[in-house]
Amino acid sequence: MATQTLSTDIFSDNYRFLQDYVRSEVGIVIEGDKHYLFESRLSPIATDLGLGSVNDLCALLRATKEKDLSRRVVEAMTTNETYFFRDPAHYDAIRNELLPRLKQERADTRKLKFWSAASSTGQEAYSLAMLLMEQGLSDWNLQILGTDYSSQMVERAQSGTYQQIEVNRGLPSTLLLKHFKRAGVNWQLSEAVRRMVRFETIDLRKSLRALGPFDMVFCRNVLIYFDAATKQNILEQIHGTLFRGGWLMLGGAETAFGYEKFFEKQSIGNAIVFVAK
């Protein structure tokens, strides 16, 4: 049967194939007419491979089980927007309320573990590291794990190198001068901050329990991309990685639908946080 073209030149059966492909590989749901999104993200890959169009790329994807190509396509469909000290109310709550409590609760072990799930290029994890450095915890064992599905994002985060435009977003100039130095046109984060964070690739839909136990988990601005069942399952998994009474931070636009079984919602200053039951 002949395939019809929709608003752009991706054939309708290829459009559905790409929607299903991305959903099954990474869990991201792309609904409605998002032809421009597939076109803009996948055309550069098609061009790079010497293919004429995204339709040709679909034909290749259907014909091959090549993992590198699959990852490249799927990673291109992730949205990696992030910046330093995003949703500052969370960092204020940590500084003013949560850390003072944790310092008392963990005074015996002097160990704190944090997780930035879906860490993208690392600004969330490094913001936390810089905040912790200001809190007189130098003799504490502080561990921050940053994870993301995308190996390209993990590599960028590990490098600790940021463009001018990235350090202009959310990072106070005092912290820029204190923790970064110039590297050509970019900025390089200090070894001292980088050492506090370890990054690895992790798919949030996989079993997560072995990663914990954490005192605090950031899972911000990623659940919005998943369907309700996937969100629910990830929330349950994250609950399993947290100490009882540990805190979960979600993105401003995210509701933890069905969270009540696992978390209690609390307001701390201007921040909403979720406490593990």
| Positions that interact with ligand SAM (CB under 6 A) | 26-28, 78-82, 86, 118, 120, 124, 148-150, 153, 203-205, 220-222, 225, 251
Q: Provide the minimum distance between the beta carbon of 87 and ligand SAM in the complex, in angstroms, as a whole number.
A: 7
Q: Provide the minimum distance between the beta carbon of 233 and ligand SAM in the complex, in angstroms, as a whole number.
A: 11
* Closest CB to ligand SAM among residues 118, 256: 118
The reply to whether omega before 213 is within 30° of 0 (cis) is: yes
* Closest CB to ligand SAM among residues 80, 188: 80
* Closest CB to ligand SAM among residues 55, 127: 127
Got the DSSP string for 193-210? HHTTEEEEE--TTS--GG
Cα–Cα distance for residue pair 198/100, rounded to 1 Å: 24
* Closest CB to ligand SAM among residues 213, 251: 251
**214-219 and 111-117 beta bridge pairing:** parallel
Which of 119, 62, 79, 124 has the alpha carbon at shortest distance from 226? 79
Q: Provide the minimum distance between the beta carbon of 229 and ligand SAM in the complex, in angstroms, as a whole number.
A: 14
**242-250 and 197-201 beta bridge pairing:** unpaired
CA distances from 210 to 31, 202, 247 (A): 33, 12, 18
* Closest CB to ligand SAM among residues 1, 229: 229
Residue nearest to ligand SAM (CB): 82
Reduced to 3 states (helix: H, G, I; strand: E, B; else coil), residue 45 is helix
Q: Provide the minimum distance between the beta carbon of 28 and ligand SAM in the complex, in angstroms, as a whole number.
A: 6
* Closest CB to ligand SAM among residues 76, 275: 76
Look up residue 83 and give its amino acid.
Answer: Y
Cα–Cα distance for residue pair 162/122, rounded to 1 Å: 10
Q: Provide the minimum distance between the beta carbon of 63 and ligand SAM in the complex, in angstroms, as a whole number.
A: 25
Burial 123-141 (b: 16+ CB within 10 A, else e): bbbbbbbbbbbeeeeeebe
Q: Provide the minimum distance between the beta carbon of 108 and ligand SAM in the complex, in angstroms, as a whole number.
A: 31
